[in-house]
Structure 1
Amino acid sequence: MNEREKGGVPDDALIRMTLAGDDGAFGELVERYKGRAFAVAVGIVGDGDDALDVVQDSFIKAYYKLKEFRFGSNFYTWFYRLLVNQAIDRWRKSARSAEVPFDESWLAEDSSPPDGFAYPRTPENLARDRELGDALQRAVDALPEYHRAVIVLREVDGMAYDEIAKVLGCSVGTVMSRLHYARGKLRETLKSHREG
């Protein structure tokens, strides 16, 4: 098995191979980033089907814009900027704000809780988690688009502040400010949910 088959080829090499006519190399980039891209897209647009469309459109756009990629930059950051812009555009055009259904697989037995944390999987706990998940999704859906994007990139995708700044085309200070605002709004909503 060669290095490419093992998935050890750096992004820059895959980009060069794609530009040289090897479409399979771009397929490897898609495989490498499609899961994270979907998580970000669904967090912004709020609907799984729309998120799939956003991810597909973003990869197509990236493929055709690949000749504009500046080597020395990070493909991930460059691609996610396209993705976030595409997702925000889709979200703006959408007449609805669909919710992402709570997925019980998130509570599966193989997703172990932190050490020392006992959490019995009772029907009551599952129902409470479902309600909390729904409330959280509604709170994220209610955020203004750029606050929504920054919370998704940070909390869902785990991006660093400087990466988010590059993706959104703003300063790190702006990222921090938007994140602070978004977290505050989510806290308010969840506090109201707990009290209600």
Structure 2
Amino acid sequence: MARAAARPIWHERSVAPSDWELVQRARTGDHDAFRELVERYQRKIAALALGMLRSREDALDIVQETFTKAYQSLDRFKGDAAFYTWVYRIAYNLCVDHQRRAAKGPQIGLDAEEDAPSARADGPHPDEPFARARDAEIARRVRAAIQDLTPDHRAVILLRELEGLSYAEISQVLECPKGTVMSRLHYARRQLQRRLRELL
């Protein structure tokens, strides 16, 4: 008697819900759905806020305020733009408002040591302290150069170079024409290159 051919076993893969599906569920009071949206984008929002404000405490406040405002405004999200660009826009506007309210004074930057690689377990190479010091100095100057840009130019650099958004997406976040995004990015890059030329 011939043996029946073995039937392939297909394993169903769970497909993560889209942002729009999570938004729809969150609108009905599904807190887990909104929590998933927060988990997807909170690190990116924190990176943007930290780049704009250079204060961890302020950046964390912006993250919390961003998602609080997003949750309260879910009914006004029409879906004509991606959810993440909508959230980026909220965060950007909050950062700008924060900077306008903040009193002028010295800003607290990140410690240079946080950007330096950790020492190896077998002990540092004789040249490593110098390399680490140089890397830390470059990182410090890059942060300072970005901070010296205007908020609009700083935002376009962070969104393009750090977050990898397209020109069209940045245009939606900043609510300005694509051509303006490109010109701001060109200007910001030239300013950074001029400031950092001696280190490159």
- TM-score normalized by the length of structure 2: 0.83
Matched, 1:194 2:199: yes
CA gap of 1:121–1:81, structure 2 versus 1, over 3 A, is farther
Q: Provide the residue aligned with 1:142 in structure 2.
A: 148
Q: 2:108 is matched with which residue?
A: 98
Match runs of 1:151-162 below 5 Å: 151-162=157-168
Deviation (angstroms), 1:72: 4.4
Higher relative CO (Cα under 8 Å, sequence separation at least 6) belongs to: 1
The CA deviation at 1:179 is: 0.6
Please report how far the alpha carbon of residue 73 of structure 1 lies from its aligned counterpart in structure 2 after TM superposition. 2.7
| DSSP 3-state at the match of 2:50 | helix
Pairing 1:13–2:18 present: no
Q: Which runs of 5+ in 2 are unaligned?
A: 1-11, 120-125
Unaligned 5+ segments in structure 1 are: 110-119
Distance 1:86 1:121, change over 3 A: farther
% of aligned pairs identical?
Answer: 41
Matched residues in 1 for 2:150 and 2:108: separation? 15
CA distance in 2, matches of 1:64, 1:7: 27
Please, what is the CA RMSD of the aligned residues?
Answer: 2.3
TM-score, normalised with respect to structure 1: 0.84
Please identify, of 71-80 and 164-173, the stretch whose mean Cα deviation from structure 2 is larger: 71-80
Larger helix proportion, structure 1 or 2? Answer: 1
Distance 1:7 1:108, change over 3 A: farther
Cα distance in 1 for partners of 2:90, 2:52 equals 13
Contact between 1:99 and 1:141, CA under 8 Å: does it hold in 2? no
Confirm whether residue 130 of structure 1 aligns to residue 136 of structure 2: yes
